[in-house]
Structure 1
Amino acid sequence: MYAAALFDLDGTLIDTEPRSQEAWSRLFRSHAVPYDDAIIRGFAGRPAREALGDHVHRFSGRTVDELFAEAIHYTTLADMPAVDTVPGALELVSRLRASGVPVGLVTSGTREYARHELDALGALHLFDVMVTADDVARGKPDPQGYLAGCAALGVEPSATVVFEDAPAGVAAAKAAGARCIAISARQPHEALAAADLIVPDLTDIAWPPRFRPVAAVTGSEG
């Protein structure tokens, strides 16, 4: 029933959220701009410049591009949290590829960033298509990226499973018409409630996945 898989990058394939959250927190602290956990979580899964646009008015005399460059600089510092792969992620992608399932990446990061991170993992070759923030006019939670990923793979969204970790990404996948499996490691379950399945990581993911019944649609499992 499911013909293809699309993966988010940050928080889904690689666990960059601790690093990202610290970089955003450091940005707010360095400018003495008040923030809380909800504000920092709000950056997850969204294009960085779009998310910064919601707050730039609070940073006196600064532009979005200046703030973005400063945050990126923080991610390169030696005292930032380490980045690791999400358990089971690369194994799942490799298994899907070996089974002939088309696999794509849809990320809110730039193409340069995505290629760098995947190349560092030796995983760049695993993806048939890549849709980045450079390829869309509107980022997640808008469905444009996932619709573009499905079109590039030549599959219908209804026959696609999306793997995500952030509320914005889940919203984008569902708005596109795809099924969504969400990873709950960095987000509360209630923030991911729109997903069709919530898992702690990507170990032991069956393909095709077995989702909970959707009685309003078919009355049976998808």
Structure 2
Amino acid sequence: MDLTTIAAVLFDMDGTLVDSDAAVDRAWRGWAAEFGADPDAALAVAHGAPAERTVRLMLPGLTDDGVASAAARQLELQYDDLSDVVATRGAHELLASLRLPWAVVTSADLRLAKARLGAAGIEAPVLVTVEDVRAGKPDPEGYLRAAELLGVAARDCLVVEDAEVGVAAGRAAGARVAALKGVDGDLRIDDLAQLARFLNP
């Protein structure tokens, strides 16, 4: 994939810039125990997606208010669980070398996003959270919003993701997608250090 025409980079947060996999796992397992849901089934669909989407899939009988309450509880379980949250491998190297404008687009809310980015020592110049959009990933709204805030056409952006719902969102926005963890993107990368080498040949 030709990266010379990329005008901006749009990063997912959890699993992409921030290694929070263990904290996410703990939160969903704790939530599932409280709400009588299957934790493995929840984790199978939760990664990269807004909490409300997963709650609706796991507890389809809930009212809208019930979904909102259950999703809020899931986020509460994550806010202060930061002991092992760190930057992913190569994240600081990539951001230090990046000469393009960049943003973070996350399915987390603002409080959780700031907490996790802070724990990882990353300050995003532009941050789009689930609270800034009407529809979360796999809807492209978050990535379209980030591109707009950066003043760049989405088709000229590189989205960096580690989850299928995020890849779908990036592609629906018209962007090219670099994918981690074996997820099928336009470009597969092992870590962000490798992406830094691709972007700075």
Question: Normalising to structure 2: TM-score of the pair?
Answer: 0.85
Equivalent position of 1:152 in the other structure: 149
Identity across the alignment (%): 34
Q: 2:165 aligns with which of 158, 163, 168?
A: 168
With over 3 angstroms needed to count, the CA separation of the structure-2 counterparts of 1:55 and 1:167, relative to structure 1, is same
With over 3 angstroms needed to count, the CA separation of the structure-2 counterparts of 1:76 and 1:102, relative to structure 1, is closer
Q: CA deviation at 1:149?
A: 0.8
Equivalent position of 1:33 in the other structure: 37
Equivalent position of 1:216 in the other structure: none
Equivalent position of 1:71 in the other structure: 74
Looking at structure 1, the residues matched to 200 and 144 of structure 2 have their Cα atoms a distance apart, in angstroms, of 21
Residue type matched to 1:29 in 2? A
Q: 1:4 aligns with which of 8, 11, 22?
A: 8
- Give me the CA root mean square deviation: 2.5
Looking at structure 2, the residues matched to 159 and 30 of structure 1 have their Cα atoms a distance apart, in angstroms, of 44
Looking at structure 2, the residues matched to 149 and 69 of structure 1 have their Cα atoms a distance apart, in angstroms, of 24
* Equivalent residues of 1:31, 1:59 under 8 A apart: no
Looking at structure 2, the residues matched to 132 and 92 of structure 1 have their Cα atoms a distance apart, in angstroms, of 22
Query: 1:68-217 counterparts in 2 under 5 A?
Result: 68-75=71-78, 82-96=84-98, 99=99, 101-124=100-123, 127-184=124-181, 189=182, 192-193=183-184, 195-205=185-195, 206-208=197-199
Residue type matched to 1:65 in 2? A
Residue type matched to 1:52 in 2? V
3-state SS in 2 of match to 1:29: helix
Looking at structure 1, the residues matched to 148 and 105 of structure 2 have their Cα atoms a distance apart, in angstroms, of 12
Larger RCO, structure (CA 8 Å, separation 6 or more): 2
Deviations 1:26-77 (A, max 9, x none): 22233433353x54121111111222122223679x9223323433343367
Looking at structure 1, the residues matched to 69 and 132 of structure 2 have their Cα atoms a distance apart, in angstroms, of 22
Q: CA deviation at 1:7?
A: 0.5
**Which protein is richer in helix relative to its size?**
2
3-state SS in 1 of match to 2:111: helix
Gaps spanning 5+ residues in structure 1: where? 211-222
Gaps spanning 5+ residues in structure 2: where? none
With over 3 angstroms needed to count, the CA separation of the structure-2 counterparts of 1:35 and 1:4, relative to structure 1, is same
Deviations 1:167-204 (A, max 9, x none): 100000011111111110xxxx3xx22x1112222123
Would you say how many aligned residue pairs link Structure 1 and Structure 2?
Answer: 195
Q: CA deviation at 1:131?
A: 1.0
Q: 1:53 aligns with which of 53, 56, 62?
A: 56
Looking at structure 1, the residues matched to 27 and 180 of structure 2 have their Cα atoms a distance apart, in angstroms, of 22
1:23 aligns with 2:20: no
3-state SS in 2 of match to 1:138: coil
Greater gyration radius: 1
